[in-house]
Amino acid sequence: MKIEGISRAIIVIIFINVNLLECQDVSVRVKQGTIVGLKIFPEASRIPIYTYLGVPYAEPTIGANRFVAPRSPEVWNRTYYARDFKPLCPQLESLMESGEGRYRRSSEDCLYLNMWVPETAMKIGGFPILIVITGEDSYDWSTNRISGLDMAAEGMIVITIQYRTNVFGWLSLDNIISPGNLGIMDQLMAFKWIDENINKFGGDMNNVTLLGHGSMGVFNSFYHLLSPKTKRIFSRAILMSGSLFAPNPINHDASGDFVRLLTCDSIDFQIMLKCLQSKSYEELLKAYESIIRNEKRVNRFFGPLADDFIDDIESRVFLGDPFRLITEFNYTIDIPVLIGITSNEGAFVDDVMLAYGKEGYKKFRNFIDDFVVPNMLKKSHFEVFDKKQIKDAINWHYFQQYPKTTSHLLNSVIKLSTEIAYELPLFKTIELLTTPTELQSNYNIVQSENNFSTVVEIKSVRSGKQTDFSTIGRQQKSVNNNLYVYVFHHSNAMDMRGSINYFGGAQHSSDLPFLFGPSLFKQISRRRLSQTEEKLCKKFKQLFGDFIKTGNPTPERPFDAWHPYNTNSKYIKILGTKIDNLLHNRILKDSSFEQNHEKIEDLLSTDTEEKLQVVSNVNTPPSYQNNPYHLSSVNHGYDESTRGVRQFDANQSNTAGKNTDYYFYLRRIYAFWYEYLPTLYKNYQDRTGRASSEQDRFSEANPKYKHAFFSMLTLVCLLLAILGLCVYLLKKNNHSLSSASTIL
């Protein structure tokens, strides 16, 4: 027993000593004071990394700082220990990722950034900087936070930014006191802090790459690449799983409804603001949830709004959404951009969808028809398609071709979500950036009217001169010749929640564990990378790392070069495993979704219900009698029997290689939504218009015909009366003549 106890003590002492060797304090003097981080020796690198977690770049947004622009942090007279992540900004727990036994933290005191700095950068200086902005519509990752440890080991400084989102970041009272767009202001304040202090860590502000991930993260990043006061900060940009289009149509009335719900409405904006600041954290979240999830089941979203009530144009935070800045005001992005999505983004299934799926096919289908599909169409500005024939076409295309089971229904929703929320916006974005003049006429769907710009003045980083607000972006329209496009594909991938995708392909956020791995991957999965996963992780980091350093993902590599996407070469790089299965789906025609069918049934099962409610025979082939536009059942280039693993026919194009085939797949999706459905809608309008016109003409002519008819009838009656009178007179005269003859 004593020997065993001594052995345990020795093991503990050794473990402590190892950890002391792996993590050592390191201090840096910044503008606000001294901060102390940790010196860590990553497993996959020989270079020590200095980490500084939870560094404040602004004052806490609590009390009087709630719902107002961020303020620069005060100087502290103490040593600040930056060793732990700080809580994220407030968000609904139900919108966060799930995780058993994991503590989710959020707080209004949340404006912090996190840095990972190679030791060589501190000694030598001049290292490239990667600034990361993540975020979805209303939340960010809280359970598994992005770690820049392994990316920093590739020879760069990695910085992640925490900022306010949902109602805490986008509430606008339409006045200078609380103008809204606070999330953008937070990011600008973080850029300012980095500009003032990063040289102390060995960073080069002339070599900054902006990485945006997620719908709101990419949308915000696109704006910063176009904004007059921020675009000169960045040398390159990486945009993952998003586009330049707003992730959701922003509801202009949401802020007003939120204020009224909390009984804070007043004609005095100061009183209104103080009322909101007096409410508890829980009251605000509860009111926010009731706004975005109302009884009408129509999602309403907060986001950047126009602040044109500010007279001084240079004080405005919003100039216009990225789409309008490019198409209407000729703003351009003239730096190298790397952009892409995963092969099955919509497979990021949330608990709400699964809960309805567990209620059975009929209830799930009603939920999809009444709520999911209408909101998806509204989200993507397709609400104009509100006619029965259009709905029938969409219904047949996505739902009626497949067996009527809850699992196939969920798979169809995933397919629809992926196409209209990710693949279509990506296609429109890359085409707009490379051929803006030719494509403007094609974007006939109504876009959002949101606007935002800057209020925090950033030092001129490159030229040393103040940026001219009136001229930046207002150049002759040009295209981006350094646009690199990719799609990430990996079967049964794991996302940031730790969830495995059983629907084929790679779901939303499944690329991050590979880009920021292996540390992040092990943090989420609690296991090491497999040999295949390790190769993919190294490939991912190599390509992205080279792009961050040079602006080219394959510099000086002509034999396996990643070519830019342009009008002459629709090159889309496919990153991942089993690439041929993505492009040529003959082998996996029924495997990816069907092989995981039992696991999907388990996801949709309950203790009291059958695992899968089957309404019709699974083996029954789809009926083409309900095809509203009589599409042929012949396979034309891709097989949609399973989501995420589609067939691409390399013989469709004379363009060499598999890296152009994905373009044709995106082009077909675009053709369905932007060419076929509008034509169908126009034909419907023409038919109804002709019928309406004929009805109108008949209605206009009807009184005239009636008047003519009665006039003619009156005339006929008058003539008949005259004729009758004449007959009467003739008979009377004849009678008189006969009497006279008799007398004679």
Mean pLDDT on 658-673: 86
User: What's the pLDDT score for residue 168?
Assistant: 92
Percentage of the residues of the chain whose pLDDT score is greater than 90: 35
Say if residue 385 is in the same domain as residue 288: no
Out of 37-41, 488-492, 647-651, give the one with best mean pLDDT: 37-41
Residue 52 CA to residue 580 CA, distance in Å, equals 42
Dihedral Cα 436, 437, 441, 444, nearest 10 deg = 30
> Is the pLDDT confidence value at 54 over 70?
yes
Out of 149-153, 345-349, 608-612, give the one with best mean pLDDT: 149-153
Q: How confident is the model at residue 162 (pLDDT cuts 50, 70, 90)?
A: very high
Say if residue 250 is in the same domain as residue 384: no
Say if residue 535 is in the same domain as residue 631: yes
Which 8-state DSSP code applies to residue 609? S
| Mean pLDDT, all residues of the chain | 77
The encoded tokens of residue 64 equal 């009087």
User: What's the pLDDT score for residue 198?
Assistant: 97
> Is the pLDDT confidence value at 117 over 70?
yes
3-state secondary structure of 152: helix
Kind and range of the H or E element at 290? helix 281-292
Token match 């998806």: residue?
A: 376
> Is the pLDDT confidence value at 404 over 60?
yes
Structural domain of 92: 2-321
The 10s digit of each residue's pLDDT in 690-711 is: 555 555 555 665 666 667 777 7
Say if residue 583 is in the same domain as residue 488: yes
Say if residue 293 is in the same domain as residue 398: no
Say if residue 71 is in the same domain as residue 210: yes
> Is the pLDDT confidence value at 5 over 60?
no
> Is the pLDDT confidence value at 218 over 60?
yes
Mean pLDDT on 117-132: 96
Q: Is residue 461 part of a domain?
A: no
Q: Is residue 514 part of a domain?
A: no
The 10s digit of each residue's pLDDT in 321-339 is: 888 888 888 888 999 999 9
> Is the pLDDT confidence value at 17 over 90?
no
Say if residue 605 is in the same domain as residue 659: yes
Q: How confident is the model at residue 274 (pLDDT cuts 50, 70, 90)?
A: very high
Residue 148 CA to residue 254 CA, distance in Å, equals 36
Q: Is residue 475 part of a domain?
A: no
Q: Is the dihedral of CA 720, 723, 727, 733 positive or negative?
A: positive
Q: Give 734's contacts (C-beta < 8 A, 6+ positions apart).
A: none
Residue 512 CA to residue 213 CA, distance in Å, equals 9
CA-nearest of 239, 337, 312, 232 to 552 is: 337
**Beta-strand runs (E) in 264-409:** 337-342
The type of residue at 601 is: E
Q: Is residue 724 part of a domain?
A: no
Residue 338 CA to residue 546 CA, distance in Å, equals 11
Say if residue 224 is in the same domain as residue 300: yes
- pTM over the 0.75 mark: yes
The type of residue at 114 is: N
Mean pLDDT on 382-401: 78
The 10s digit of each residue's pLDDT in 520-547 is: 898 888 889 889 999 999 999 999 999 9
CA-nearest of 161, 59, 179 to 455 is: 179
Domain final residue pick, 301, 321, 341: 321
Q: How confident is the model at residue 233 (pLDDT cuts 50, 70, 90)?
A: very high
Say if residue 296 is in the same domain as residue 364: no
The 10s digit of each residue's pLDDT in 715-732 is: 888 888 888 888 877 877
Residue 458 CA to residue 455 CA, distance in Å, equals 9
Mean pLDDT on 651-678: 74
The 10s digit of each residue's pLDDT in 181-204 is: 999 999 999 999 999 999 999 999
Residue 68 CA to residue 350 CA, distance in Å, equals 32
CATH number of the domain within which 200 lies: 3.40.50.1820
Out of 72-76, 349-353, 371-375, 403-407, give the one with best mean pLDDT: 72-76
Token match 């103008």: residue?
A: 179
> Is the pLDDT confidence value at 455 over 50?
no
> Is the pLDDT confidence value at 581 over 70?
no
Domain final residue pick, 686, 707, 731: 686
User: What's the pLDDT score for residue 595?
Assistant: 65
Q: Is residue 250 part of a domain?
A: yes
Mean pLDDT on 235-239: 98
Say if residue 309 is in the same domain as residue 382: no
The number of C-alpha atoms within 13 Å of 583 and in the hemisphere containing its C-beta is 23
Query: Cβ-count burial of 614 within 10 angstroms (0-12 exposed, 13-18 middle, 19+ buried)?
Result: middle
Q: Catalytic residue positions?
A: 215
Percentage of the residues of the chain whose pLDDT score is greater than 70: 71
Out of 103-112, 591-600, 646-655, give the one with best mean pLDDT: 103-112
User: What's the pLDDT score for residue 461?
Assistant: 37
Q: Is residue 722 part of a domain?
A: no
Mean pLDDT on 35-54: 91
Residue 656 phi/psi, 5-degree rounding, is: -75, 145
Radius of gyration of the chain (CA): 33
Q: Is residue 168 part of a domain?
A: yes
Which is more confident, 645 or 377? 377
Say if residue 310 is in the same domain as residue 391: no
CA-nearest of 609, 590, 633 to 411 is: 590
User: What's the pLDDT score for residue 475?
Assistant: 43
The 10s digit of each residue's pLDDT in 638-651 is: 343 333 334 333 33
Say if residue 67 is in the same domain as residue 172: yes
Provide the domain count of the chain.
2
Q: Is residue 524 part of a domain?
A: no
Residue 418 CA to residue 527 CA, distance in Å, equals 29
